[in-house]
Structure 1
Amino acid sequence: MRRPGRTLMTALFGGLALGVVMALLPAGAHAAATVPAVPDDFRWGVATSGYQSEGSAPASNWSRYDDGMEPYLNSVDFLNRYREDIANAASLGVDTFRFGVEWARVEPEPGVIDPAALAFYDDVVAEIRSHGMTPMITLSHWVHPAWFADQGAWANPGAVDRFLAYAELIVPRYAGDGTTWITFNEPVIYLQHELLDSDNPLPALALAPQVINAHNRTYDLIHRTDPDALVSSNAAYIPGVQPALDVLFLHQMKLDFIGLDYYYGVALDNYTASAALTGKFWEVKPAPEGFYNALKSYHARFPGKPIWIIENGMATDNGKPRADGYTRSQHLQDHLYWMQRAMAEGVPVIGYNYWSITDNYEWGSYRPRFGLWTVDVVTDPTLTRRPTDGVATYTDVIARGGVPADYVPVAPPGLCNIDNLLGSCAQPLLSGLLGGGTASTDVLGLQTLAGGASGGGLLGGLFKKSR
C-alpha cells in the first residue's frame, strides 16, 4: 500500500500538470462530451419581476432604497405593455412565464386591497394562459410595502401573519391549472439587502427564521389549495459558500424542487465575480462550467429533489457588445450545454428560465442589460423592445430540445473551479482526451480526492473549512 502522503503529492502534482496542459489546449478539447436532448416534458421559460419591470411603482422598501440611485423612471412599463412581452415570450416557444405579484401594489395600506391591482394581475395570468403558457408566480421578489417596512418588516413578530394574509388573497385566486409558485426570491440576498439598505439593526441571520416560517406556512397554504402545485424558493448560487448557506435556508424549507439561480463562478483564473459587488455585472467573466458544478453539487446534497433553473442570464453594458466578445447567444448555448451534460449524468433538471424577457431596473441602475429584448429606458421614450441575438438562439434550442449533441462550448472551462477544485482541474481535460463523456477512470485519485462535483472529498472539505 502506498503511503497517503505520497498519494496526495502525486495527485497534487498530477493535477497541476493537467491544469497547465488544459490551459494550453484549444477550446474544443476542453469539453468533447456529447450531450443528449432534454426530455419532451422539459419546461422552458422566461422570467421577470414586478418592481424591476412594471413601472408606476407604489411605495415600498425599494422605492425608498433607490433614492440616490439612478432614477427609477417608469422602468420598461410592463404594467401597460405586458401583452407585448407575453406575446414575445410565446414566440420563443416557452411554456412557462415567471412574473411577480407586487404585495405593495395589491395592499398599498394595511388591510386595504387595490381592486385595480388585482384586475391587472388577473389580466396578466389570463394573457399568459391565452398564449398556451402557464404562470410561475413569485410572491416576494425582494420588495414589500412601505407600511410593512415601517412596522419593522421581518423584525416584527407579526410579520409572518401579515405576509400570510397577503398570500391567502393571492394563492386561491391563481392556483391550479399548473401554476408554479416561488414564495421568496433569493432569500439570502433579500435579507442581505434588508440589513445593508434599511435601518433595521438586526443581522440578516436573525431575520431568517421569520422568512423561513413564512415560506413554510405559504407552502402549506398552496398545497391545501392545489395539492398538485410545485412550490419552491430559489437560491442565488454564491460560489464557495453555497452549501453553508443552504444549511441555514433551503434545508429548513419545505420544497418540491430546488430552484437555482446561476450567474457566476470562481476559478483560479477567474476572480471577476467580484465585479458584481459594485454593480458592474458586465465585467464578470462568465463561467458556464460552474453551472455544471452547481447542478452536480445540488444533486449530491439534495438527492431525490428535481432542479429547476429559475434564473440564468448575462449582463451587457447598456446593450453594447461585451469587451470579451462573448455574445448572449454564446452564453445561452454554453450554459445549456453544461446543463444537458449534467442531466446526462443523472442530475434531474426539469426546467430552465432565462433571465430576463426584457431589460429592467437592475436594483439601482439601467446600465446592466440582461434582457432577451433590450429596452433603452433612459434614452428611448417609446420603450421599444429590440431583440438581441439571444432571441433567435433561444427559439432554436427550444425547438431542438437543447443544444446539438456535438455542440462545443465557446468558453473553455476555468482553471480549477472553486466548487470542485481538483475534479474540475482534471475532468474537462480527461473528457477531451478520452473522446467524449465524463472521465470514468479516477486518474491519479483526483476525483476521489476532490470529492466529485459536490466538493465533499478530502481537499474539498479542507478548502471549505479553511475559508
Structure 2
Amino acid sequence: MPSRDLRDTFSIRRSDFPDGFLFAVATSAYQIEGHAHGGAGPTHWDSFAKQPGKVDRGEDGALACDHYHRWAEDLDLIAQAGLDAYRFSTSWARIMPDGKTLNPEGLDFYDRLVDGMLERGIKPMATLYHWELPQALADKGGWTSREIPQRFAEFSRVVGARLGDRLYSTAPVNEPWCVAWLSHYEGYHAPGLANLGAAARAMHHVALAHGLSIEALRSEDVPNLGAACNMEYALPATDRDADVAAAEIYDGIYNRWFVGAMTKGEYPEDVLDGLSDLMPDRWQDDMKVISQPIDWMGINYYTCKRIIGTGKAWPAYGTVDGPLPKTDMGWEVCPEGFDWLLRRTAREYTGDLPLFITENGMANGDKPGRDDLERIDYLDRHLEVARDLVADGVPLRGYTIWSLLDNYEWTLGYDKRFGLIHVDFADFARTPKASYYALARALAE
C-alpha cells in the first residue's frame, strides 16, 4: 500500500456517489446498551467473561455505554453527522431473557429506539442477533443444538411483528463465522469451545437460523431482508504449496461457507472435505431453507490475513504478521482486500443483488484532543475503493462505519476504541472525534 500524508479531511464527498447511496454507522446491543438495565436476562457472554483469562480484566457489558438511557443523545449525534441510516441490533436476552418468554420492557425499548430514528430522519437497519445468546439457551447446547435455530425463528417473528413495519432493512445474524467458528473451534469468543465437531454443528445451525429467521420475518411482511457476513482477505504468506492450500481453506471457512449457502444452497467442497463427517444428520435437507431469496447481501470487512500451512491436522492453517500498517487491533490496513472480496462476491455469488458494507472501521488509541488522523485515513481509503467499485458497476448501495461509539469490544473489554465518538467509561460522556467532524463535512459537501 503506497504511503500518503495523513490529513484531517476526507478526499471523498457524498457527491462522489450516486443519489440514494446510503452512509450509515453501526453499533450492537450488548456492546453499548448496558445489559444490567431493563430486565435483560443473563447471556453466555456474561458467563464467558467470568471465566479467568477469557476477557481482559473480566469486563462485561453490564454497563457498556449506557445507551439504554442515553439513546436519544446518541441518535442526535447520528443525525447531526448527516448520516442516512443506523445499523443497530436487538438483544435476544433483553427481549426474551430466557430465550422464549417475552419481556415487554425490552421490546418497548426497541420500539422507542426505532421511532426515535424515524423522527430524526434516520433509516433503521436492524440486525436481530449480535452474539448475546440467552444463557438458558446456552445451557441447552447453544449453537451446537438444532433447537436454537428454531428458537431464533420464534424470536425473529416476535421482533418482526412489533418493529417490522418501520424497519428499512433487517438481517438475522451478524457475522455468522464469529458466532460459529471463532467461538466453537478457535475458542476466542463465547462459549469458548475448541472442538471441530462442535464447530461443524454450529456452522450449519447458524446458517439454518438465518434461513428460518428469513422465513419468520417474511411471514410478518417485514421488507428488505438480507444478511451480514464478515469477510477477510486470505493471502498465502509465501508461494509454498502448503501456504497456498491453507489460504484456500481459510478463505473457504471464513468467506465462502456462509455466502455460498445463502445464495447457492451449497457449502464449499474443499471445506466439506474436512467437516462432512462431523455435520449434523440430514444437513443437506436444510439447504433450501438456508438459501431462500434475500433482498441484499451485507459484508463486514476490516483486514487481510497472511496464511501459512502448519502441517498439522485439518484445517492445518496458521497466521503470521504482514508488512502493512496496522490498527490498534494488530490488523493490517488493506483496502485492496476490500476491493477483491466485493468484486468476487458480486461475480461468483450475488450477481445483481444489492451489496452493502455493513461494517468497516478501525481501532485506534484515541483520547479527546488527539487528531484521529489514522481513522480518517483508514475510512477514506476504503471509501475510495467503494467509489471505484460503484463506478465499475458493482451493485454497492451503501457503506456503514463501525462504530458510532467506543464500546465493549468483547474479549478485549473496553480497551480497544473503534468509535467516531469517544466514550468516557467513568461517566459515559460522549466526545465526538476529529473523524466524526471530518465525516460530517464530507457528507454535507
TM-score interval, normalised by the smaller of the two chains: 0.7 to 0.9
Q: Deviations over 1:339-382 (max 9, x none)?
A: 101211111110111111100000032111000101121xxx32
Q: Are 1:108 and 2:97 an aligned pair?
A: yes
Indicate yes or no: 2:439 matched with 1:394: yes
| Range with greater deviation from structure 2 (253-262 or 231-240) | 231-240
Structure 1 residue 226: Cα displacement:
2.6
More divergent stretch after superposition (362-371 vs 220-229): 220-229
Selected match of 2:22 from 43, 60, 65: 43
* Residue 130 (structure 2) pairs with residue 141 (structure 1): yes
Larger radius of gyration: 1
Change (3 A) 1:322 1:244: farther
Distance 1:160 1:360 in 2: 28
Identify if the C-alpha distance between structure 1 residues 33 and 174 changes in structure 2 by more than 3 Å, giving closer, same or farther: closer
Q: Alpha-carbon deviation of 1:110?
A: 4.8
Answer whether contact 1:272 1:284 (CA < 8 A) is retained.
no
Report how far residue 305 of structure 1 moved: 2.2
1:175 aligned counterpart, secondary structure: helix
1:264–1:273 Cα contact (<8 Å) kept: no
Aligned to 1:75, the other structure's residue is in SS state: coil
| Cα deviations by residue, 1:304-356 (Å, 9 ceiling, x for unpaired) | 22210000111112548999x85222222121111101211111110111111
Cα separation, 1, equivalents of 2:369 and 2:69: 29
1:355 aligns with 2:364: no
Q: Label 1:141 to 1:33 Cα distance change in 2 as closer, same or farther (>3 A).
A: closer
Q: Give the structure with the higher percent strand.
A: 2
1:145-197 Cα offsets, whole Å, 9 max, x none, are: 00000011122232222111111111111113452112111101111343114
Query: CA separation in 2, counterparts of 1:114 and 1:175?
Result: 18
Secondary structure, counterpart of 2:171 in structure 1: strand
* Secondary structure, counterpart of 2:201 in structure 1: helix
TM-score normalised per structure 1: 0.72
- The percent of aligned pairs where both chains have the same amino acid is 28
- State whether residues 233 and 338 of structure 2, in contact with CA within 8 Å, keep that contact through their aligned partners in structure 1: no
- Number of the residue aligned with 2:362: 314
- Does 293-302 or 334-343 show the bigger shift? 293-302
Which runs of structure 2 are paired with 1:31-430 in the superposition (5 Å)? 37-57=16-36, 58-67=41-50, 68=52, 69=55, 70=57, 71-72=59-60, 74-195=63-184, 196=187, 197-198=190-191, 201=195, 202-226=197-221, 228-240=223-235, 241-242=250-251, 245-253=254-262, 254=291, 255-266=294-305, 271=322, 281=329, 283-302=330-349, 303-317=351-365, 319=367, 326-364=373-411, 365-377=413-425, 381-400=426-445
Q: Could you tell me how far 1:93 is from its partner in structure 2?
A: 1.3
- Contact 2:403 2:420 (C-alpha < 8 Å) held by counterparts: yes
Q: TM-score, normalised by structure 2?
A: 0.75
Secondary structure at 1:260's aligned position in 2? strand
1:250 corresponds to which letter in structure 2? V
Q: Which has the higher contact order (CA 8 A, sep 6+)?
A: 1
Measured against aligned partners, the alpha-carbon deviations of 1:395-434 in whole angstroms (never above 9, x if no partner) come to 122234xxxxxxxxxxxxxxxxxxxxxxxxxxxxxxxxxx
Gaps of at least 5 residues in structure 2 are 236-249, 263-290, 308-319
Counterpart CA distance in 2 for 1:45 and 1:328 is 16
Contact 1:266/1:287 (CA < 8 Å) preserved in 2?
no
Structure 1, gaps ≥5 residues long? 1-21, 401-467
Q: What is the number of equivalent residue pairs in this alignment?
A: 367
Alpha carbons of 1:135 and 1:326: their partners in 2 closer, same or farther (altered >3 Å)? same
Question: 1:128: Cα distance to partner?
Answer: 0.8
User: What amino acid sits opposite 2:134 in the alignment?
Assistant: P
